[in-house]
Amino acid sequence: MSEQIWWYVARSGGIVALFLAFASVLWGLLLTTRLLQGRPSPRWLLDLHRFLGGATVVFTAIHVAGLMLDSYVSFGWSDVLVPLAADWKPGAVAWGVVAMWLLVAVEVTSLLMRHLPRRLWRFVHFGSYAMAWTGLVHGALAGT
């Protein structure tokens, strides 16, 4: 097995997570626009949005795990959980850490949606726009 396998896992996981994040945001926009209002929307439309969000979480976890297992840059827990804690490109990594925490907030509140006030859920869910764009900035600055 190549010694760079975790490098490839981390990079590909991050790229896939970014595409999934934007797909989920765009699909969510489609669900709430006037294009579909007034028409009965099949359950699978919302299910696809939820699937894309969940898949974003999975591939973000793969991205982070790949970074921590890679030996080229030694990332520790604080590096991937605390903005500006990383020694390697701290600004670029910070964008990714912020995007990850926004993703966690959106996903956790979505899972708890039935138990939360609608306004709170909606407010946090708007963070998905910031999550996608901060993820894009992270990818552009950190590179592959």
pTM (global) more than 0.85: yes
Q: What does the pLDDT read at residue 36? A: 62
Longest CA pairwise span in the chain (Å)? 55
Q: What does the pLDDT read at residue 76? A: 95
Question: Of 137, 134, 112, nearest to 125 (Cα)?
Answer: 112
Q: What does the pLDDT read at residue 87? A: 95
Q: What does the pLDDT read at residue 2? A: 79
Q: What does the pLDDT read at residue 32? A: 81
Q: Is 2 exposed, middle or buried (0-12, 13-18, 19+ CB in 10 A)?
A: exposed
> Cα separation of 132 and 22, whole Å?
6
Segment-wise mean pLDDT, segments of 10 residues, the chain, 144 residues? 89 98 94 70 85 98 97 93 97 98 98 96 96 98 86
